[in-house]
Structure 1
Amino acid sequence: MRRMSLTPELVALCHRDEVDPGPDGSWTQLSDDDFQTLAMRLSGEADDGPLWVFAYGSLIWKPAFESVEQRRAAAHGWHRSFCLDIKRWRGSREQPGLMMALERGGRCDGVIYRLPDGEKPAQIERLLRREIDDHESVSSVRWVPVRTAQGSVRALGFWVGVTGKGTSLGQPLESVAKILARACGHVGSGAEYLYNTVSHLETFGIHDRNLWRLQELVADEIRLVHGHSVTSHDTAEVAEPAIT
């Protein structure tokens, strides 16, 4: 069994009760018409056949949609990165956080989910409303070519290739760890998000070396912040990934 340094006990130390501050007014919110228009455009760009969604982070452990099939998949030319600056959700204005997106370069192993047959515009609109809420984020929604053991498909991806306002690209893991160990918002902490992502990736047999190193660094930072000494219970076992 592979042992995570970041444990539920350490994650619990990061929790704080925070009030949702709401939108800060610096982003242009999408209207109902905007969501419908974007969903129609993306539906028109879709391949024939079923609708696939590429999950590389929270969609793996909290998909919030029904699926009828899942497959391991790899997106080449992208890698996971905590590069989205946030002052809401898992961060606050007093202690900003970071959320994950896909930056260019490398390879990202994840999971694709096939949604039930249905009206693609309606299915896509529900996904859009879960993942984005402003015009500035629209460009991060795109169709991503992925490879699976059964062949290549195009899957809908979110927060792919983000740039510009609200992003901090290429940060060293040590800097990211300091933020994730301290940031918390009304939906939870950055440490919780990282723990859930790494542990669920390992369950799927996906070992992301950068995230694995990051969870070690975040565990160290939490101990530093909270003066928490290491005990025999300060490791969490996750399944050894299958060899494929």
Structure 2
Amino acid sequence: MSHNTIAINQRMDKFDSHQRVWLFGYGSLIFKADFPFIERRPASIAGWTRRFWQGSHDHRGTDSAPGRVLTLVRDAAAVCAGMAYLITPEVFAHLDHREKNGYLRLATGIDFDAGGSEVGLVYIAAEDNAAFLGEAAERDIARQIAAASGPSGRNRDYLIELADALRALGKIDPHVFAIERYLAQLDQG
């Protein structure tokens, strides 16, 4: 069920002439920066909301038991908080591989919490990718996350680390925190 997007992302040339590019992270990129960066800043992007609607067949699940990871879905009234990283284009090869299961690079405006903004990029898994699982009740998402594990570890760790990272940034995400609460209930029951 994997949808390898590496070749598609390599054709995005919007930032080819740039020596440095801002990258916006809204999921594991907030707490797991496994790539070199020049600078990082708390930031947000407008018009998008974070959702556990993308399947993970390659990191936090398997083909037969996919995990659920984040993507962004359009919501004109939303502002999605995360972390922005200033990187060099050489980092794209690593990121394209890391985000290969359905994620595409998209140019976006990034607003920094401390003020100012830049045009940068974000990886988003749209509804038309083969690994997209779509909307589900948050309780059901928690059940799937509780059961899933893959080469990058348990899906539950992804959720918990993200919730902790958002709290450390002073950000509230009702969707993430509701799934975390359901996961805790499953652990108790």
Q: Find out whether 1:143 has 2:114 as its counterpart.
A: no
Greater C-alpha radius of gyration = 1
Q: Find out whether 1:152 has 2:152 as its counterpart.
A: no
In 1, the alpha carbon distance for the partners of 2:19 and 2:116 equals 14
Query: Aligned-pair distance for 1:37?
Result: 4.3
Q: Is the 8 A contact 1:70 1:111 kept in 2?
A: yes
Q: Find out whether 1:130 has 2:94 as its counterpart.
A: no
Give the 3 Å change call, closer, same or farther, for CA 123–58 of structure 1 in structure 2: same
In 2, the alpha carbon distance for the partners of 1:36 and 1:212 equals 31
The one-letter code matched in structure 2 to 1:200 is A
Other-structure match for 1:111: 83
Q: Is the 8 A contact 1:183 1:189 kept in 2?
A: yes
Segments of 5+ residues of structure 2 without an aligned counterpart are none
Q: Find out whether 1:63 has 2:43 as its counterpart.
A: no
Q: Is the 8 A contact 2:53 2:71 kept in 1?
A: yes
The one-letter code matched in structure 2 to 1:203 is A
SS of the residue corresponding to residue 141 of structure 1 reads strand
Q: Find out whether 1:207 has 2:172 as its counterpart.
A: yes
TM-score, length-scaled by structure 2: 0.84
In 1, the alpha carbon distance for the partners of 2:9 and 2:142 equals 38
SS of the residue corresponding to residue 131 of structure 2 reads coil
The one-letter code matched in structure 1 to 2:107 is W
Q: Is the 8 A contact 1:80 1:108 kept in 2?
A: yes
In 1, the alpha carbon distance for the partners of 2:14 and 2:95 equals 11
The one-letter code matched in structure 2 to 1:178 is R
Q: Which moved more, 1:146-155 or 1:210-219?
A: 146-155
- Structure of higher RCO (CA pairs closer than 8 Å, 6+ residues apart): 1
Q: Find out whether 1:178 has 2:143 as its counterpart.
A: yes
Count of residue pairs brought into register by the alignment = 186
Query: Aligned-pair distance for 1:161?
Result: 3.7
In 2, the alpha carbon distance for the partners of 1:36 and 1:103 equals 19
- CA-atom RMSD, angstroms? 2.5
SS of the residue corresponding to residue 90 of structure 1 reads coil
The one-letter code matched in structure 2 to 1:127 is L
The one-letter code matched in structure 2 to 1:38 is R
Query: Aligned-pair distance for 1:54?
Result: 0.3
Percent of matched pairs sharing the same residue:
24
Q: Is the 8 A contact 1:36 1:125 kept in 2?
A: no
Moved over 6 A (4+): none
Query: Aligned-pair distance for 1:196?
Result: 0.7
In 2, the alpha carbon distance for the partners of 1:131 and 1:210 equals 22
In 1, the alpha carbon distance for the partners of 2:139 and 2:132 equals 17
Segments of 5+ residues of structure 1 without an aligned counterpart are 1-23, 225-244
Give the alignment partner of residue 194 of structure 1, picking from 154, 159, 164: 159
Q: Is the 8 A contact 2:61 2:150 kept in 1?
A: yes
Q: Is the 8 A contact 1:35 1:125 kept in 2?
A: no
Give the 3 Å change call, closer, same or farther, for CA 141–162 of structure 1 in structure 2: farther
